[in-house]
Structure 1
Amino acid sequence: MEVILELLIEIFVVGVVEFAKSKKANNLLRFIIMAFAIFIVVTLFYVSYVLRDNVWEMIVALIFASISGIYTYHLHKEFRKVDM
Protein backbone atom coordinates (compact mmCIF):
# COMPACT_ATOMS: atom_id res chain seq x y z
CA MET A 1 0.00 0.00 0.00
CA GLU A 2 2.77 2.42 0.88
CA VAL A 3 4.53 1.71 -2.40
CA ILE A 4 1.40 2.57 -4.38
CA LEU A 5 1.03 5.82 -2.43
CA GLU A 6 4.68 6.68 -3.08
CA LEU A 7 4.22 5.97 -6.79
CA LEU A 8 1.20 8.29 -6.96
CA ILE A 9 3.14 11.01 -5.12
CA GLU A 10 6.03 10.57 -7.53
CA ILE A 11 3.75 10.91 -10.56
CA PHE A 12 2.23 14.05 -9.03
CA VAL A 13 5.67 15.56 -8.36
CA VAL A 14 6.80 14.88 -11.92
CA GLY A 15 3.67 16.58 -13.26
CA VAL A 16 4.11 19.60 -11.00
CA VAL A 17 7.79 19.93 -11.91
CA GLU A 18 6.96 19.75 -15.61
CA PHE A 19 4.44 22.57 -15.10
CA ALA A 20 7.09 24.59 -13.28
CA LYS A 21 9.39 24.29 -16.26
CA SER A 22 6.74 25.71 -18.56
CA LYS A 23 6.46 29.40 -19.38
CA LYS A 24 3.14 29.72 -17.51
CA ALA A 25 4.73 29.68 -14.06
CA ASN A 26 6.30 32.82 -12.59
CA ASN A 27 9.44 32.78 -10.42
CA LEU A 28 7.61 32.70 -7.06
CA LEU A 29 5.50 29.76 -8.17
CA ARG A 30 8.60 27.99 -9.43
CA PHE A 31 10.34 28.50 -6.09
CA ILE A 32 7.32 27.11 -4.22
CA ILE A 33 7.20 24.08 -6.52
CA MET A 34 10.93 23.47 -6.06
CA ALA A 35 10.55 23.64 -2.27
CA PHE A 36 7.64 21.21 -2.49
CA ALA A 37 9.70 18.80 -4.60
CA ILE A 38 12.52 18.92 -2.05
CA PHE A 39 9.97 18.24 0.71
CA ILE A 40 8.75 15.18 -1.18
CA VAL A 41 12.33 13.92 -1.56
CA VAL A 42 12.94 14.25 2.18
CA THR A 43 9.60 12.58 2.94
CA LEU A 44 10.40 9.64 0.69
CA PHE A 45 13.80 9.19 2.31
CA TYR A 46 12.11 9.23 5.73
CA VAL A 47 9.54 6.66 4.56
CA SER A 48 12.35 4.44 3.30
CA TYR A 49 14.03 4.72 6.71
CA VAL A 50 10.81 3.82 8.54
CA LEU A 51 10.20 0.86 6.22
CA ARG A 52 13.74 -0.46 6.59
CA ASP A 53 12.41 -3.76 7.98
CA ASN A 54 10.97 -4.51 4.54
CA VAL A 55 13.95 -4.37 2.19
CA TRP A 56 12.01 -4.29 -1.09
CA GLU A 57 9.83 -1.37 -0.04
CA MET A 58 12.94 0.47 1.11
CA ILE A 59 14.61 -0.08 -2.27
CA VAL A 60 11.51 1.14 -4.14
CA ALA A 61 11.23 4.22 -1.91
CA LEU A 62 14.91 5.03 -2.45
CA ILE A 63 14.45 4.71 -6.22
CA PHE A 64 11.49 7.11 -6.08
CA ALA A 65 13.45 9.50 -3.89
CA SER A 66 16.36 9.38 -6.32
CA ILE A 67 14.05 10.19 -9.24
CA SER A 68 12.62 13.12 -7.26
CA GLY A 69 16.12 14.33 -6.50
CA ILE A 70 17.08 14.20 -10.17
CA TYR A 71 13.99 16.19 -11.15
CA THR A 72 14.64 18.70 -8.38
CA TYR A 73 18.23 19.17 -9.55
CA HIS A 74 17.08 19.54 -13.15
CA LEU A 75 14.50 22.10 -12.06
CA HIS A 76 17.17 24.01 -10.13
CA LYS A 77 19.30 24.15 -13.28
CA GLU A 78 16.28 25.49 -15.20
CA PHE A 79 15.81 28.24 -12.58
CA ARG A 80 19.42 29.31 -12.93
CA LYS A 81 19.01 29.58 -16.71
CA VAL A 82 15.86 31.71 -16.36
CA ASP A 83 17.31 34.05 -13.71
CA MET A 84 20.50 34.80 -15.67
Structure 2
Amino acid sequence: MRKVLLVLIFTFSLFANENYKISTQIEVSGLVENILKLDVKELEKMSYFKSGSTPVVCMSGETKDNVESYEGVLLKDIIDKAIIKSRE
Protein backbone atom coordinates (compact mmCIF):
# COMPACT_ATOMS: atom_id res chain seq x y z
CA MET A 1 0.00 0.00 0.00
CA ARG A 2 2.87 2.33 0.84
CA LYS A 3 4.41 1.78 -2.62
CA VAL A 4 1.11 2.61 -4.34
CA LEU A 5 0.84 5.83 -2.34
CA LEU A 6 4.40 6.84 -3.25
CA VAL A 7 3.74 6.18 -6.94
CA LEU A 8 0.57 8.29 -6.81
CA ILE A 9 2.37 11.16 -5.09
CA PHE A 10 5.17 11.02 -7.64
CA THR A 11 2.69 10.95 -10.54
CA PHE A 12 0.73 13.93 -9.22
CA SER A 13 3.93 15.90 -8.64
CA LEU A 14 4.92 15.36 -12.28
CA PHE A 15 1.65 16.76 -13.57
CA ALA A 16 1.62 19.62 -11.08
CA ASN A 17 4.60 21.16 -12.86
CA GLU A 18 3.45 23.57 -15.56
CA ASN A 19 6.66 23.01 -17.54
CA TYR A 20 6.07 19.26 -17.82
CA LYS A 21 6.19 18.10 -21.43
CA ILE A 22 5.09 14.73 -22.74
CA SER A 23 7.74 13.18 -24.94
CA THR A 24 6.77 11.51 -28.19
CA GLN A 25 10.26 10.23 -28.86
CA ILE A 26 12.59 7.63 -27.37
CA GLU A 27 16.37 7.77 -27.47
CA VAL A 28 18.85 4.92 -27.27
CA SER A 29 22.36 6.12 -26.50
CA GLY A 30 25.42 5.11 -24.54
CA LEU A 31 27.47 2.06 -25.47
CA VAL A 32 25.83 1.68 -28.87
CA GLU A 33 27.18 2.08 -32.39
CA ASN A 34 24.05 3.90 -33.63
CA ILE A 35 22.44 6.51 -31.40
CA LEU A 36 18.72 6.23 -32.12
CA LYS A 37 16.00 8.82 -31.74
CA LEU A 38 12.71 7.23 -32.70
CA ASP A 39 9.35 8.98 -32.77
CA VAL A 40 5.93 7.37 -32.91
CA LYS A 41 5.82 7.29 -36.72
CA GLU A 42 9.18 5.53 -36.92
CA LEU A 43 8.11 3.00 -34.28
CA GLU A 44 4.90 2.33 -36.24
CA LYS A 45 7.01 1.43 -39.30
CA MET A 46 8.92 -1.25 -37.36
CA SER A 47 7.59 -4.78 -37.09
CA TYR A 48 5.51 -5.31 -33.99
CA PHE A 49 4.70 -8.20 -31.75
CA LYS A 50 1.20 -9.19 -30.70
CA SER A 51 0.83 -11.60 -27.82
CA GLY A 52 -1.88 -14.04 -27.05
CA SER A 53 -3.44 -14.46 -23.64
CA THR A 54 -0.79 -13.87 -20.96
CA PRO A 55 -1.08 -14.54 -17.21
CA VAL A 56 0.08 -11.87 -14.75
CA VAL A 57 2.11 -13.78 -12.18
CA CYS A 58 3.24 -12.36 -8.86
CA MET A 59 6.70 -13.06 -7.37
CA SER A 60 5.22 -15.81 -5.22
CA GLY A 61 4.16 -17.63 -8.40
CA GLU A 62 0.46 -16.96 -7.86
CA THR A 63 -1.49 -15.91 -10.97
CA LYS A 64 -3.14 -12.57 -10.19
CA ASP A 65 -4.82 -11.71 -13.49
CA ASN A 66 -4.84 -12.45 -17.19
CA VAL A 67 -4.11 -10.00 -20.03
CA GLU A 68 -6.00 -10.94 -23.18
CA SER A 69 -3.30 -9.52 -25.47
CA TYR A 70 -0.82 -6.72 -25.88
CA GLU A 71 1.18 -5.46 -28.81
CA GLY A 72 4.12 -3.22 -29.60
CA VAL A 73 7.66 -3.06 -30.87
CA LEU A 74 9.98 -5.49 -29.12
CA LEU A 75 12.72 -3.83 -27.08
CA LYS A 76 15.10 -6.42 -28.56
CA ASP A 77 14.40 -5.07 -32.07
CA ILE A 78 15.15 -1.49 -30.98
CA ILE A 79 18.39 -2.52 -29.24
CA ASP A 80 19.43 -4.62 -32.25
CA LYS A 81 18.96 -1.55 -34.45
CA ALA A 82 21.22 0.50 -32.12
CA ILE A 83 23.90 -2.26 -32.12
CA ILE A 84 25.39 -2.58 -28.64
CA LYS A 85 29.16 -2.15 -28.47
CA SER A 86 30.77 -5.19 -26.89
CA ARG A 87 33.52 -4.80 -24.32
CA GLU A 88 36.39 -7.07 -25.21
Normalised to the residue count of structure 1, the TM-score between the two structures is 0.26
Higher fraction of helix: 1
Of structures 1 and 2, the larger Rg is shown by: 2
Higher fraction of strand: 2
**Larger RCO, structure (CA 8 Å, separation 6 or more):** 1
